[in-house]
Amino acid sequence: MTDRKATLSVGDKSIELPVYSGTVGPDVIDVRSLVQEGVFTYDPGFVSTAACESKITYIDGANGVLLHRGYPIEQLAENSDYLEVCYLLLKGELPTADENRKFHDTIKNHTMLHDQMRNFFQGFRRDAHPMAIMCGVVGALSAFYHDQMDVTDAHQREITAHRLIAKMPTIAAWCYKYSIGQPFMYPRNDLSYSENFLQMMFGVPCEEYKPNPILAKAMDKIFILHADHEQNASTSTVRLAGSTGANPYACIASGIAALWGPAHGGANEAVLDMLAEIGDEKNIEKFIAKAKDKDDPFRLMGFGHRVYKNFDPRAKVMAETAHEVLSELGLENDPLLKIAQRLEKIALEDEYFVKRKLYPNVDFYSGLILKAIGIPTSMFTVIFAMSRTIGWFSHWNEMVSGDYRIGRPRQLYTGPESRDYDKK
């Protein structure tokens, strides 16, 4: 609790409101009592509203800081792997060596999908967007595990977490395989999480798939860097859906639907569209000039970030990984990648971009890596959703583990006043 108060003056009325401080970050003013005074706050997009209390992730955008359970994202990307980060987000602490081994084994034992789920894929058109398939299939998981969806039971929630973490790569890879007409590849327990995903994406039944360790490491870093990002649009959607008591699979499906929006999960796909629009290195100066012209609609995608007003801490990791992948695959001279590298150099040196802190962000580099590996742009958001599932679930689990109430945002009504029906 707190002894500090903020005073809000509304006309001739003064209302005292409690002020709380978190571990780090801005103070928050508790406005819950305002409804009793007949007053609401007005905050479109909820950009100034703390809708929950959380111990999972902290972002300091001004200083380029991203912490998962207190650990800097750079340290996790350098020293950990995705499944260990999943354990951290879910449990709150890093696992011991024994806990880590058991967790990895548990996930490996849940990667298979029920064989009847093949029928769900076959119900979609071959040219359906993979996000449409993923959204439907994840929601359908509730039809197969309806006997273990008691949200008040911690053990059942843990089993659900294991199933989602384990099955999402299988679902994601099958979305791709279905779209190109190739047979589904089953998961292999002898491979790591990222190796298994690549095997299910690019393997075929007629020959053994041998994962490239450089590419597998790059995928694992992409998974880590997209695992959670605090109370963003899709995470807030999962929390809002979960506040109704909806089953966790439906809640995760709602997060996938929110992530599908181009303003949220489609940023790295937009980067490649921009590179294709530029087309050639000789056109770069022209497009840079267009980007600097405030009256020109063209924007450089993958530069700057709504949250980070400094360098995106995830981008530093991705930049190193991108160069490793391009070198490994001998793609240093790929036309689009050459354009990207030139844009990167300009953004880091040009006074216009440096002054405005329009540095390359994580989406700029992750799109390049995924393209180099051979993953089509339609799958980019699917991989994002697969990675973010642990973040969504951790926030949902944190919410349903404590006291919560159904979400009920208010509005500023500007429609007609009450009027009588008078049919002309």
Rounded to an integer, what distance in angstroms lies between the CA atom of residue 142 and that of residue 147?
A: 9
Give pTM, 2 decimals: 0.90
| 305 part of the active site | yes
Q: Which fold has domain 5-66?
A: Rubrerythrin, domain 2 (2.20.28)
- Tell me the pLDDT tens digit for each residue of 1-39: 567 888 888 888 888 888 989 898 889 988 888 888 888
Please give the share of the chain, as a percent, with pLDDT higher than 90.
59
Average pLDDT for 197-209: 96
Does the pLDDT of residue 310 top 80, yes or no? no
Of the pLDDT bands very low, low, confident and very high (cuts 50, 70, 90), residue 244 is very high
Report how far apart, in Å, the C-alpha atoms of 130 and of each of 57, 172, 173, 261 are. 29, 8, 10, 13
Please tell me the CATH code under which domain 266-373 is placed.
Answer: 1.10.230.10
The pLDDT, as a whole number, for residue 299 is: 82
pLDDT tens digits for range 373-395: 999 989 999 999 999 999 999 99
Contact 110, 162 (CB under 8 A): yes
Of 220, 228, 312, 363, the active-site residue reads 363
The 3-state DSSP composition of the chain as helix, strand, coil percent (nearest 5) reads 55, 5, 35
Structure tokens at 360: 């390359």
pLDDT at residue number 207: 94
Please confirm, yes or no, whether 323 is among the known catalytic residues: no
Of the ranges 7-21, 82-96, 287-301, 315-329, the best mean pLDDT one: 82-96
Residue 206 pLDDT more than 90?
A: yes
Q: How far is CA 308 from CA 43, 271, 377, 421, in A?
A: 20, 18, 25, 52
Whether the pLDDT of residue 331 is over 90: the answer is no
**pLDDT exceeds 60 at position 330:** yes
What's the pLDDT tens digit per position in 47-70? 888 899 999 999 998 888 999 999
pLDDT number for residue 398: 96
pLDDT at 346: 84
- CB contact set of 168 (below 8 Å; sequence gap of 6+): 138, 385, 386, 389
Q: Boundaries of CATH 2.20.28.60 in the chain?
A: 5-66
Report which of 284, 316, 303, 314 is spatially closest to residue 356, judged by C-alpha positions: 303
- What average pLDDT does range 81-110 have in this prediction? 97
Highest mean pLDDT among 82-91, 268-277, 285-294: 82-91
Tell me what pLDDT residue 2 has.
60
Catalytic residue (choose from 68, 104, 226, 305): 305
Residues of the chain with CATH 1.10.230.10: 266-373
C-alpha to C-alpha distances, 80 to 84, 165, 251, 354, 396, nearest whole angstrom: 6, 17, 28, 31, 24
The pair of structure tokens assigned to 310 is 């400094």
pLDDT band at 368 (very low <50, low <70, confident <90, very high): confident
Q: Which residues contact 82 (CB under 8 A, 6 or more apart)?
A: 193, 194, 220, 223, 224, 227, 387
Which of the four pLDDT bands, split at 50, 70 and 90, describes residue 153? very high
* pLDDT score for 364: 82
> What CATH fold (topology level) applies to the domain 81-207+225-259+377-401?
Citrate Synthase; domain 1 (1.10.580)
Listed in order, the ranges of the chain carrying CATH 1.10.580.10 are: 81-207+225-259+377-401
